Amino acid sequence: MANFGDFQLEIYLRGLAGVVESLPLTFSELERRAETALPPGILSYVAGGAGNEYTQRANVKAFDRYGLIPRMLVAAPDRDLSVELCGLSLPSPLMMAPIGVIGLCAQDGHGDLATARAAARTGVPMIASTLTVDPLEEVAAQFGDTPGFFQLYTPKDHELAESFVSRAEAAGFKGIVVTLDTWIPGWRPRDLTAGNFPQLRGHCLANYFTDPLFREKLEKSPEEDPRAAALEWAVTFGDPTLSWDDLPWLRSLTKLPLLLKGICHPEDVRRAIDGGVDGIYCSNHGGRQANGGVPAVDLLAGVVAAAGDTPVVFDSGVRGGEHIVKALALGATAVAVGRPYAYGLALGGEDGIVHVLRSLLAEADLLMAVDGYPTIGDLTPEALMITL
């Protein structure tokens, strides 16, 4: 049986032949090299956070407070990292979080397609953003046998939301993730300083510009007047009135598994489950939307306890395999990453994403092997100690 950790053997064997790994194996090096590979406007959007970026930094640093306790003499030559999520069998708990400018992170400007192809190659599901360079149908066509999820930013026009979900179902997506914390942009000084908001420039709006309902709102087509179409997007994008009263409507949009993203409070977890959702997505948007908050990983255990048997996806601050393992020990069903794979795409395209995903999984797998946790089921809160 192959283990994800076998990736290191491939690297060492290539080294024997004089071939040294060209792509980074640590997040810090990924980030450093991506700073020169990405255009400044895209780098600020991907790397930046809200306010003074305290929450963004705290998300990462909070993982250091949790130490994994090693267990010895546990036979673990083969590890099982497979998970069940909303009726789907996945080879690992890793997912790719939605990134609204991932399309622009690729050298050819089609990063959404590259990400989808990387999902097909690795079995790591992509959660495709509403904001893509290429239409959702073309993205879904690249998934192969790997299930993909569609992330919905709920627009003011609920008929448009219904259209997006209907299109996602028809395209073959296997679940809908509704992001709740982005009906209005957070205060992002990096982008504000540069006066840079990619979507206002008409970027990453393919799902809007190809949607018949959206096109009906325009006096001229997006091809004829892209600026006017982008401004129409700006007034349509987020629904500031969306509330718990709308959850029955959201639930009615699809028979696919429905997950709510941005849930961090146990009471919100219970209300979501009472409203019929199939999964909870615990996240503070990686610190991009609101500053001064509690690190998301510190809220995960409470979310998991309130969720009971309902699966919990987690993201925010995940930078390495050890973070994946710690989130799993705190009860997450699946763990999503964002910035690491975006930087991998910037440096190496589709192959760069595959490299990053394989590296994350190898590190997580080997950590479980060395510390004596053969399966995800062995990772419980008792495997962790608060160290700081």
Residue 216's Cβ-count burial label (10 Å; 0-12, 13-18, 19+) is exposed
Cβ atoms of residues 317 and 286 within 8 Å:
yes
The answer to whether residue 355 is catalytic is no
Scan for tokens 């987020």, then name that residue: 238
Residue 195's Cβ-count burial label (10 Å; 0-12, 13-18, 19+) is exposed
- Which value, to the nearest 10 degrees, does the dihedral of the CA atoms of residues 166, 172, 175, 181 take? -60
| Other residues' Cβ atoms within 10 Å of the Cβ of residue 255 | 8
Question: Residue 149: which H helix or E strand, with range?
Answer: strand 149-153
Q: How far apart are CA 229 and CA 232, in angstroms?
A: 5
Strand partners, 83: 90
Q: How far apart are CA 145 and CA 132, in angstroms?
A: 21
As a 3-state breakdown, the chain gives helix, strand, coil percent values, each rounded to 5, of 50, 10, 40
Q: How far apart are CA 300 and CA 260, in angstroms?
A: 15
Q: Catalytic residue among 203, 285, 323, 355, which?
A: 285
Torsion angles phi and psi, residue 336, rounded to 5: -105, 145
Q: Give the start-end residues of each E strand in the chain.
A: 66-68, 83-85, 88-90, 94-96, 127-128, 149-153, 175-179, 258-261, 279-282, 312-314, 334-337, 384-386
The set of residues, in sequence order, having a beta carbon less than 8 Å from that of 9 and lying 6+ positions away, is: none
| Other residues' Cβ atoms within 10 Å of the Cβ of residue 28 | 10
Residues that are catalytic = 285
